[in-house]
Structure 1
C-alpha cells in the first residue's frame, strides 16, 4: 500500500465512521517502532506504522486509523482527545477502534535462561553473563541459543 492509498483509506474511514472530512495528510512512517500510529497536534497529520499492515493485516490497520482519527476529530472540535479523557474512550468504543496497538514481532538473536529458576530472556544484543543475573532469583544466566 502506498501513501496515496493510505490517504484515500483514511479519508473514506473518516467520512464513514465520523461523518466528517479528513483534510490533512496521512502517511506511513517507517521509523515508528513501538507505536501503531501518531496524531501530530501542530500539523494535524496522521502517521501510521507500516508494520500494522505488513505484520498484522488490514483489520489492525483500520483499527489503528480509527484510533488516530479519534484523536484528530476530538482535537479539532475542542473536546478531550487524550487517551485518559472520557470523550476519547467513548468515541473509540463507538467507532470500534483499537485501544492498543499489537506488539510487533522482534527478531531476537539470543536466548538466555537462569540456571536456578529457568526464567527465559530474549535479547537482540549479546549480554555479559558474568555481569548480569536473573531478575527473579539473582541466579546465573547461561546462553541457550544464538541465531
Structure 2
C-alpha cells in the first residue's frame, strides 16, 4: 500500500464511519516508532506508521485510521479531541475505534528480554546489578569510592 491508496482508504472510512469528508492529507511516516498514527493539529494531516500494516495487518490499520479520524473530526468541530475528553471517548465507542493500538511484535519481544549487567568494586568487592551500562570512568563504588569494573552481562528471557 502506498500513500495514494492510504489517502483513498482514509477518505472512504471517514465517509462510511463518520458521514463526513476528510479534506486533508493522510500518509505513511516511517519515523514513527512508538505509536500507530498521529493527527497533526496545525496542518490537520494524519500520519500512519506503516509497520502496523506490515506486522499486524489491515484490520489494525483500519482501527488506527478510525482513531485518528476521531481526533480529526472533533478538532475541526471544536469539541474535545484529546484522549481524556468525554466527546472523544464517546465517538470512539460509536465508530468502534480502539482507544490504544496493539503493541508491535518487535516491541513485545524487546520487552521480554531482560539485560542485567554486574559491576564489582576492585577495592571492597561490593557488587552492583544494573539494567543499563554505566560509565566506569565517571562512577565509583558507593561504599568505599573504589574503582568499578564490569564483571559480566547476562541476558534473561
Normalised TM-score (structure 1): 0.76
Once the two structures are superposed, the pairs formed by residues 46-61 of structure 1 within 5 Å of their partners are 46-61=46-61
| Matches of 1:80 and 1:21, distance apart in 2 | 19
Q: Which residue of 2 aligns with 1:143?
A: 153
Asked if 2 retains the 8 angstrom alpha-carbon contact of 1:75 and 1:81, the reply is yes
- Superposition deviation, residue 111 in structure 1: 4.7
Residues 24-33 or 49-58, more deviating: 49-58
> Once superposed, what is the RMSD of the aligned Cα atoms?
2.7
Indicate the residue corresponding to 2:24 in structure 1: 24
Runs of 4 or more consecutive aligned structure 1 residues displaced over 4 Å after TM superposition:
none
Output aligned runs, 1:27-38, within 5 Å.
27-38=27-38
Unaligned runs of 5+ in 2: 119-130, 140-150
Distance 1:111 1:79 in 2: 43
Give the superposition deviation at 1:143.
Answer: 3.1
Does structure 1 retain, via aligned residues, the 8 Å contact 2:117–2:154? no
The alpha-carbon deviation at position 127 of structure 1 amounts to: 3.2
Which of structures 1 and 2 has the bigger CA Rg?
A: 2
Q: What is the CA-CA distance between 1:145 and the residue it aligns to?
A: 4.6
Aligned 8 A contact 1:29 1:48 in 2:
yes
Please, which of 81, 103, 112 is the counterpart of residue 115 of structure 2?
112
Matches within 5 A, 1:1-147: 1-104=1-104, 105-106=106-107, 108=110, 111-113=114-116, 127=133, 143-145=153-155
Q: Deviations over 1:17-61 (max 9, x none)?
A: 000000100000000000111001111000001111011111110
> For residues 95-129 of structure 1, what are the alpha-carbon distances to aligned partners after superposition, in whole Å with 9 as ceiling and x for unaligned?
11111122221475x753589xxxxx7xxxx835x
Write 1 or 2 for the structure with the bigger share of helix.
2
Deviations 1:56-92 (A, max 9, x none): 1111100000000000000111111010000000000
Where structure 1 has 5 or more consecutive residues not aligned to the other structure, the ranges are 116-120, 132-140
Q: TM-score, normalised by structure 2?
A: 0.71
